[in-house]
Amino acid sequence: MAQPSHTLHDVVLIDAARTPFGKAGSLYAGTRADDIMIRCLRGLLERNPKVIPSEIDDVAIAAATQVGDQGMNIGRSVSILAGLPNTVPGYSIDRWCAGALTAVTTIGAAIAMGQYDLGIAGGVEHMGNHPMGDLMDPNPRYLAERLVDPDAMAMGNTAERLHDKFPHLTKERADRYALESQNKTAAAYQAGKIQRDLIPVAVRSAELGWGMATVDEPPRPGTTYEALAALKTPFRPAGRVTAGNAAGLNDGATAAILASAEKAAQIGAPVKAKLISFAFAGVEPEIMGYGPVPSTIKALKKAGLTIEDIGLFEINEAFAIQVLSFLDHFGIADNDPRVNLYGGAIAVGHPLASSGVRLLINLARGFEEHPEVRYGITTMCIGLGMGGTIIWENPHFNGKKA
């Protein structure tokens, strides 16, 4: 009897792109979520003509709120609407903020097992159409049986709880970190580093008619520390979390093309990153922002690496305190230049399930700029107390120290 083969394959990133991010219900107020995702998917394939759509093995698309224009198995529905052949299957994923990150690991794992050669992973969130928690019905046992603290049900409160846990991570430090995110994003825009991976999207306004989204709407260049320090703390009187040191409510989509190293070589596609390991981990739901710490520890262990081996970090900035607690745990300075080269979600926005691939887009560009760096990570916190981390290897690594 023949024995099945289980040869493992290297998983590589061919390319990734995203739409401009908008403020919730503003830039994309007249645009459906699935149409944003469709344009992102089409735009990604248009700029990768070596990828033949009929050879795509699967499409995994995430959304945190899977109803309305984000429902009906958005992975399959947007594939059809984007013009992929009917032979290409698709599915939807929900791991809240880490939806696109999980789409990457799910497609990547199938490629590693040799079941897929080529796949697409992405995510979309239209928080204007679907506010956080829209149509959710949390089981009353969560609170009645004290399974979670009430603060776990409001992300801003979980950030305040992180400040409680680490009082040395002050509001001043959070505000200064937020200012640095805005400044990095402004500098990256000025240098044309962010625009190159944005897929333009046609938008419709009842007042202005048709237009084109070409840049992110949320960034606030020219932000000052004094302005950030003066903002109100909506989650707690005299608190530390503000609209300035947290990501906003946003709309947008992302997508990535993953392949086996053999498939990438066969079609002559460039490689932007190689997947080394990944891990997800849980923490107390009321301090969900701490999740990237244990998930990174697990991912490093699986890869046989240490934090000292990591040369670039892309950390989702759901809240400044969440990033600071990660950096503090690993002994990394608040302003370490290896962290979020082009700024982060505090500036450009965090359309929940899409953000994991945005991190990958920035890391891949960072790899190009820094061939002296061998390994980098993408990591993020997740609602109800989780973290997710992927470790990547730089295909441009030249073995030279910076």
- Are β-strands 375-382 and 310-315 bridged in parallel, bridged antiparallel, or unpaired? parallel
Q: Is 40 considered catalytic here?
A: no
Burial of 166 (0-12, 13-18, 19+ CB in 10 A): middle
Q: What region does 60 belong to: left with phi over 0, alpha with psi -120 to 50, or beta?
A: beta
Distance of alpha carbon 46 from alpha carbon 239, whole angstroms: 47
Q: In this structure, how many other beta carbons lie within 10 angstroms of the beta carbon of residue 202?
A: 11
Contact residues for 309 (Cβ-Cβ < 8 A; gap 6+):
300, 374, 375
Out of 126, 130, 163, 350, pick the active-site residue.
Answer: 350
Residue 171, classed as helix, strand or coil, is helix
Q: Is 97 considered catalytic here?
A: yes
Out of 40, 97, 130, 370, pick the active-site residue.
Answer: 97
Out of 40, 126, 370, 381, pick the active-site residue.
Answer: 381
What type of residue sits at position 6? H
Distance of alpha carbon 314 from alpha carbon 91, whole angstroms: 26
Q: In this structure, how many other beta carbons lie within 10 angstroms of the beta carbon of residue 226?
A: 9
Residue whose entry in the numeric block shows the structure tokens 């002559």: 268
- Give Cα 304 to chain centroid, integer Å: 24
Q: How does 312-333 read in b/e, with b if 16+ C-beta sit within 10 Å?
A: bbbbbbbbbbbbbbbbbbbebe
Question: Are the C-beta atoms of residues 339 and 296 closer than 8 Å to each other?
Answer: no
Active-site annotation, residues: 97, 350, 381
